[in-house]
Amino acid sequence: MIIPSQKKKTKKKRNNKNYYFTSAHEDAIVKYARSSCKKERTDLYIEFIGPAFNEMVDKIVFTYKFTNLPNIDSLREECKIWLMTILDKYDPNKGSAAFSYFSVITKNWFIHKVKRQQKRNKREIDLGNISKRYEEEYLSTDESYLTQRVEDEFWKSFYTELKSWDVSQMKENDTKVYKAIIILFESKEEIDIFNKKAIYLYLREITGLNTKQIVNSLKKFRKRYSSFKQSWEGGML
Compute the C-alpha angle 37/176/220, nearest 5°: 170
Helical packing angle, 98-123 and 50-63, nearest 10°: 50
State pLDDT tens for residues 51-69.
999 999 999 999 988 998 9
pLDDT mean across residues, the chain: 79
Task: Indicate the pTM of the whole model.
Answer: 0.48
Which pLDDT score is estimated for 148?
A: 66
CB within 8 A of 173, min separation 6: which ones?
207, 209, 213, 216, 217
Which range, 20-29, 148-157, 200-209, 226-235, has the best average confidence (pLDDT)? 20-29
Quickly state the pLDDT bin for 235 (edges 50, 70, 90): low
State pLDDT tens for residues 124-171.
555 555 454 455 555 444 455 556 666 777 788 888 888 889 988 899
Residues 1-14, mean pLDDT to the nearest whole number: 47
